[in-house]
């Protein structure tokens, strides 16, 4: 029987960390099972005309943000669009966010929580329901099936 001389424990992230993208989807920045400490980067998307950019940060395994845990919101000025954002997980699993400016300077961004996770989830659910209802109103119910398709081909309703 062999003996083990030493054991090295490696800490890993149990759930991915990322941000909300349009449509209520979740974009992962740091993947699950990434060794801690870790660093991962991405570029900020374009901001709306003259407005700043807000990124809602989440942790979780689901593809939809509504099913993940809300961590906070990052706020960026409009001129930050296209700049590199670094997510740094330290040894204590604390998330640090830095933005690399065009001139090479780096500044840390703080997470700001302005709503409770429950209030945000309720707002996202309401928005998703509003979009679903709007989509249903825009597309009138069309007859479906083989006979409906045959009628269309031969000019029938």
Structural domains in the chain? 17-114 (2.60.34.10)
CB 86 within 8 A of CB 41: yes
Residue tagged 């029987």 (tokens): 1
The span from the CA of 65 to the CA of 131, in Å, is 16
pTM comes to 0.64
Lowest mean pLDDT among 53-57, 90-94, 146-150: 146-150
CA distance 32 to 34: 6
Phi, psi of 137, rounded to the nearest 5 degrees? -70, -30
- Per-residue pLDDT of 106-142, as tens digits, reads 777 655 444 555 666 677 677 778 877 887 787 655 5
């Amino acid at each position: 029987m062999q003996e083990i001389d030493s054991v090295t424990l490696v800490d890993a992230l149990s759930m991915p960390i990322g941000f909300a993208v349009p449509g209520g989807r979740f974009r992962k920045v740091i993947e699950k099972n990434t060794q801690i400490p870790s660093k991962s980067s991405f570029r900020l998307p374009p901001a709306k005309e003259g407005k700043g950019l807000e990124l809602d940060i989440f942790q979780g395994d689901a593809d939809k943000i509504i099913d993940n845990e809300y961590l906070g919101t990052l706020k960026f000025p409009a001129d930050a669009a296209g700049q590199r954002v670094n997510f740094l997980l330290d040894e204590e699993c604390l998330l640090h966010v830095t933005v690399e400016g065009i001139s090479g300077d780096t500044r840390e961004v703080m997470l700001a929580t302005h709503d409770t996770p429950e209030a945000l989830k309720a707002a996202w659910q309401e928005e998703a329901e509003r979009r679903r209802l709007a989509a249903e109103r825009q597309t009138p119910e069309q007859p479906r099936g083989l006979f409906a398709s045959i009628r269309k081909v031969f000019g029938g309703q």
